[in-house]
Amino acid sequence: MDTGYSLMCTFLLLALLSYLLMRKHGRKPQGKAKLPPGSMGWPYIGETLHLYSQDPNVFFAAKQKRYGEVFKTHLLGCPCVMLASPEAARFVLVTQAHLFKPTYPRSKERMIGPWALFFHEGDYHMRLRRLVRSSLVPDALRGLVPDIDAIVISMLDSWDGHVVRTFEAMKKFSFDVGILVIFGGRLEERYKQELRRNYFIVDKGYNSFPTNIPGTLFHKAIQARRRLRKMLSEIMNERRKKAGVEKDLLGCLMDSSEHLSDDQISDNIIGVLFAAQDTTASVLTWILKYLHDNPELLEALKEEQMGIHETNGYGSQPLTWTQTRTMVLTHRVILESLRMASIISFTFREAVADVEYKGYLIPKGWKVMPLFRNIHHNPEFFQDPQKFDPSRFKTPPRPSTFLPFGNGVHACPGNELAKLEMFILIHRLVTKYRWEVVGSQSEIEYGPFPVPKHGLPVKLWRASITSSSSSSVGGTVEQCRPAP
């Protein structure tokens, strides 16, 4: 009885929210152009319940098959136009990007901070993007290789002989790398521990229902967000007392000619942590699974990495930036993992004016969603798209068909950092360890990024590995099939 009552209340709340948002955004189109084909679902609710009752990728793929590469729907209280072609994605993200603004729920802005660069467009966005990118370009990352390598070595050593949930472990790893990039490895341990504790509280509440009532995940996250802001203010004040100029991201934001306020700096620091963590952790988790499921590929990749390992005296010399640039097969594995998993399945934009595309009208105020995963899994662009095949990247993909980091002015500025993390972790993993996947991992869960069920539990142990040892791939507790 209580469960039924709760579900009914939730349904009515969704209906009310959808109705109010539809009244705001759902005006009828004017002029000769027609709306794209598609279904808007139930009155007020739209197709939100349909979407969340199944794999979102199945939902969007079925829509594309029925209606084509441009179709409409109604989700989360908003009328939407979905775009599943490279040309349409480029139209929205690059050539006509000025007609489509980034859009996020108000609760997300509140959690990260309204001054974070990905909530903005125009001059402020471009100025902030230049500042953030200055700390994430290859020349800036080159000097971080030894520090990232040390984080990887310490993490893998802590795994030795234990069963760990890969996704959760990778989230901690990407957080530590984010702290390194932001604070340059000079942050006091007390701050690091408190930032970690409060950040993960915010992370848990980020995708929860936005009810700011004491005891809810959202309320706890809001409180933790305030504590993060206070700590960042203390860290900035301590830096100002020292009157030095640091070359890390925080130093770049504090000492720039843009004269940013502390709120602007704090929001962008928290934004970088959010942008860098779950996505990178998800891809790293899938890489472990794909390598585990493809033993012959793992052997070939291990041979490439052992060549570098031998050059470095079997670990007596440090890994270098230049060596990460020579990992040709490893790079293809990373690219194919990004395509196959398609962690960012789509992105949100909002039309700032009535826009016509291929004879269809996209009304002002409607959400527009380029569907990256649909493009990445289209057999017209990637033959046998459900097969994990890094060799497909021996030749560059067609323009706008491979968008793992987005495209245009809002493309992810941290893509080189993410790939550097992957290069270093793969190198240390396959040259020193082997691992088993614990249990059957053919299922996927969404939170919201797709990861193997239970975060891919693995057992890892140190092993004497040589490039010719075919037995060092590692066994399986239960053989897994490639993820869909």
Residue list, annotated binding site for heme = 412
One-letter amino acid for residue 484 of the chain: P
Which long-range contacts does 19-22 make (Cβ < 8 Å, 24+ apart)? 19/44, 19/77, 20/77, 21/76, 21/77, 21/78, 22/46, 22/74, 22/77, 22/78, 22/79
Known binding residues are 412
Residue owning tokens 């980091």: 405
Query: Phi/psi of residue 13, each to 5°?
Result: -65, -45
SS3 state at 294: coil
Closest CA to 38 of 81, 77, 78, 75: 81
Rounded distance between C-alpha atoms, residue 420 and residue 144, angstroms: 10
Rounded distance between C-alpha atoms, residue 344 and residue 211, angstroms: 26
- Sign of the four-CA dihedral 6, 11, 14, 19: negative
The C-alpha torsion from 102 through 377 and 301 to 470, rounded to 10°, is 140
DSSP string covering 363-409: -TT-EEEEBHHHHHT-TTTSSSTTS--GGGGGSPPPTTS--TT--GG
Question: Residue 77 in contact with residue 49, Cβ under 8 Å?
Answer: no
What residues pair up with 82 in beta bridges, in sequence order?
71, 369
397, two tokens: 């993909």
Strands 444-446 and 450-452: antiparallel
> CA 412 from chain center: how many Å?
9
Cβ partners under 8 Å of residue 324, min gap 6: 145, 420, 423, 424, 427
C-alpha angle 328-329-333 in degrees, rounded to nearest 5:
120
Question: Residue 411 in contact with residue 404, Cβ under 8 Å?
Answer: no
Question: Residue 399 in contact with residue 382, Cβ under 8 Å?
Answer: no
Which long-range contacts does 454-457 make (Cβ < 8 Å, 24+ apart)? 454/165, 455/165, 455/166, 455/167, 455/168, 455/285, 456/165, 456/166, 456/167, 456/285, 456/288, 456/289, 457/163, 457/164, 457/165, 457/166
